[in-house]
Structure 1
Amino acid sequence: MENNYLKKILISFLLLSASLLATVINEEASQQLIDSKTPIVDIRTPAEWKETGLLKGSIPIMLFDEKGNYDLKDFIDKLNNAVDTKKQFAIICRTGSRTRVLAPFLSQKLNYDVINIKSGILYAKFIKLPIEPYSAK
């Protein structure tokens, strides 16, 4: 009886600690975020990257294609190869609608510590943050 009680306490503690470790922070793009050298992953399409450019230092990794299709495994593989997902990183899209969905998933399901850039690249351009042109490698 006591053994089951201890197991339940241990499992509860592990679940609680896991949920405390992974977080989603919602914030706007800022020069401070760029200067912090926190990796910023741009999840838009290549056409969008060409149209607006990328926030300085961003890593382009497409999640949804032009038709709204996605390959989550491919995205996660590319993300894990490009970013140390054991450390905090940020995600950005055009207006924040795609990252608003992706950030909680990455945090809750994969235990990643994510910054969701709320208003996306359009806001970053509006406040005149440094933008770099996209060129396919």
Structure 2
Amino acid sequence: MKRIFLFIALLTLPLFAEYKSEYITKKLLDSKTPIVDIRTPPEWRETGLLKGAIPIMFFDQRGGYNIDKFLKELNAKVDTSKPFAIICHTGSRTSIVGPWMSQKLGYKVINLQGGMDYATRGLKLITYPYKK
């Protein structure tokens, strides 16, 4: 019985998963959809973060990654049962991570096309680390 349930759960996972790419808009920002910034701390310090963005590094500066660490932090800070957006510098890293999170984990992921290169055009940024 457990095997049947697990099999059905695995088959239905793609039905709940969703992945889309879009440019950041005022509508998205106003929707309060969480935005996870997967860049590195030096990148966060260099350009700042979108106001309200949640910094959680995926790839380190050498291209390495720790999926378990990333998912633990993501699940602690974001309700992954609801849609959330991811952003990086240009959209390259998020175009890799987003489909994986959607297909393998069943998350509803929005890849913010153009990344921070696009987002910095007129949007409010805050400095990192946060000033308390």
TM-score over 0.5 for the pair = yes
Q: Residues 84 and 13 (structure 1 numbering): CA distance in 2 closer, same or farther, change over 3 Å?
A: closer
Is the Cα contact below 8 Å between 1:34 and 1:57 reproduced in 2? Answer: no
Q: Per-residue deviation at 1:103? A: 0.5
What is the match of residue 133 of structure 1?
A: 127
What are the ranges of 5 or more consecutive residues in structure 1 without an aligned counterpart? Answer: 1-6
Deviations 1:70-121 (A, max 9, x none): 1111001000000000111000000000000000100011100100101101
What is the match of residue 45 of structure 1?
A: 40
Question: Is 2:37 aligned against 1:31?
Answer: no
Is the Cα contact below 8 Å between 1:41 and 1:61 reproduced in 2? Answer: yes
Q: Residues 22 and 129 (structure 1 numbering): CA distance in 2 closer, same or farther, change over 3 Å?
A: same
What is the match of residue 81 of structure 1?
A: 76
Percent of aligned positions that are identical: 53
Considering only CA atoms, is the larger Rg found in Structure 1 or Structure 2?
1
Q: Per-residue deviation at 1:18? A: 2.3
What are the ranges of 5 or more consecutive residues in structure 2 without an aligned counterpart? Answer: none
Q: Mapping of 1:115-130 within 5 angstroms?
A: 115-126=110-121, 128-130=122-124
Count, aligned residues? 126
Q: What is the Cα-based RMSD across aligned positions, in Å? A: 1.8
SS at match of 2:62: coil
SS at match of 1:115: strand
Q: Mapping of 1:60-71 within 5 angstroms?
A: 60-71=55-66
Letter in 2 for 1:31: K
